[in-house]
Homo-oligomer: A and B are copies of this chain.
């Protein structure tokens, strides 16, 4: 698109409108025509594709149009001197190019495009009358045309389009390139899908590579008999696995920042900035902004901020309390009841029936939990969408954690039933390997085919008898439109499909880590699974789904804390497992007093951990290190600075750039 791709226009945004009926007269100007005209007026290249039942407007923006839009949005971009400055089209040389040579990243291009197409407003002095299918409605002064048409139901969807050349190239070099095992063309993924997806795949790749070590260890343990030292092997495996996981996550942070540096993303500033921009789209303005215009003295302002901040803390605290209590009081008994019944019931047939009922119920349970979480989060004053998404992740993970592990805990720790435990673990791992991957890829395919079938049937009904020949989809854009979106199973407003992929990964990590001593071979299964996962996820993203809306988050976010939490948990559970395993004669009786104190100790350690790890950044806004009014002050000042000096600085850099580039080259 940018720079080297000028010989070929790449359409990046698709707009779905109803097919214009040919029988209508030309004179009554349809609102779709107006829309196309307006698109062309702002400088977009529009291609109209007629599909079976809808018409598709494919939009492409020349680089200059994008640049001017970015300048209008006051987008911040890293410059050659390392600072992020407001973009100016005249000073384009001052800004850093992407690794693939283009000026804007996919995320930035998408933002600019959205700004362009949603920025078409009625600039005249009076409302304009629009018509569609004979129905008249008004396009009010100052209103966005696209939003109006969306609310009238005429524009059905605005979605990012796949770039077919790049997609096919990625399909070859990434999704179908099985022999690379964990290697992936991360840079190309980044430039095609944006930061968040690329970070996910980079993480998955690294994680799988690192997992080869414990998998090899586990495999050797299974094969070799260590004779009299056999009893030492399991504790050694436990220690190694914990150290492995701790070190891996430290190295991952390192890798993450190296990736961001390679992609020219300014970690400290850029991340927050990106969030903010995306946050704008999802509206949800914080009450802080409301005070902006109002004149008031400093102390009053501070008080207001503090009040607002503490109210937010309170809401967050309340929400977390609700979630935790409902998990403990509702979900825990339910899960325990299921586990207990499973243990008690003798016949396999009954077990099967019980499991079927159980699965049926938890489907609803999870959905309801997700909905409640999303509703609760709306009352929290999280700074931006990514924060809200993180808050959701914590809440929903609590649910899934109970769901996935309580049964296993029951078998492992209460009943010391290692046979059932291993069975359950193998079942889950195989299920996650085969079934999940099948579902992940199969479900979108089925959905797509059903939609296709319906569209064709509708078409047939309409032109009944006109032609008996088979109807084909000629246009790629229509196929894409029918593909399902990359959306989360829970809380679609806040999360995309990455939520499910990360959830799967985290649950797997918990499974293999927390019960490492009971079933070391799980690491081998997980490694095999993850190597498959990389390619199937890639395949799914490239062929089965619509191109996802790019998101700006630059780390794995809340998931990092969840993985850390799982490591701590696994230290405790494995210790318990070891005690159970070595105490085969049941001699190591633990008195209730001792047990109570040990449990108290572990709960306190957990609280300490959660406070230190999760709280300062995310969970309880309550203990955020920087008081809100301090931060607000700082932000306001900085934005003032940038507003004032940005242009002048840029001119400086553009001028100075050559001289500064000089010493590097000689």
Contact = CB atoms under 8 A, between A and B. Distances in A.
B627 A258 contact: yes
A615 B567 CA distance: 17
Interface stretch (A367-375, A501-509, A631-639): A631-639
A83 interface: yes
A625 B666 contact: no
Interface residues of A, number: 77
Contacts of A588: 591, 593-594
A494 B187 CA distance: 44
Given A82-B638, A250-B623, A261-B633, 15 more contacts: A81-B640, A81-B641, A82-B637, A243-B607, A246-B607, A254-B623, A256-B625, A257-B630, A295-B666, A568-B605, A568-B608, A579-B593, A588-B591, A644-B653, A645-B656
Contact of A600 (B235, B591, B598): B235
Contact of A575 (B83, B253, B256, B600): B600
A633 B664 CA distance: 12
B641 A653 contact: yes
B597 A579 contact: yes
A601 to B, nearest CB: 4
A625 B649 CA distance: 31
Contact of A604 (B571, B582, B591, B637): B571
A551 B246 CA distance: 35
Interface string A237-259: 01100110011001101101110
A254 B624 contact: yes
A582 B564 CA distance: 34
A613 interface: yes
A463 interface: no
Copies of this chain in its oligomeric complex: 2
Contacts of A118: none
A535 to B, nearest CB: 29
Contacts of A626: 254, 257, 261, 267
A648 interface: yes
A640 B623 contact: no
Contacts of A21: none
A505 to B, nearest CB: 20
A608 B247 CA distance: 9
7 contacts: A239-B600, A246-B611, A246-B612, A250-B615, A250-B625, A571-B601, A648-B652
Given A254-B625, A627-B258, A591 B587 contact: yes
A18 interface: no
A616 interface: yes
Contact of A250 (B242, B261, B616, B649): B616
Interface in A64-116: 79-83
A260 to B, nearest CB: 9
A256 B663 CA distance: 42
A598 to B, nearest CB: 7
A449 interface: no
A572 interface: yes
A474 interface: no
B575 A597 contact: yes
Nearest to A608: B246
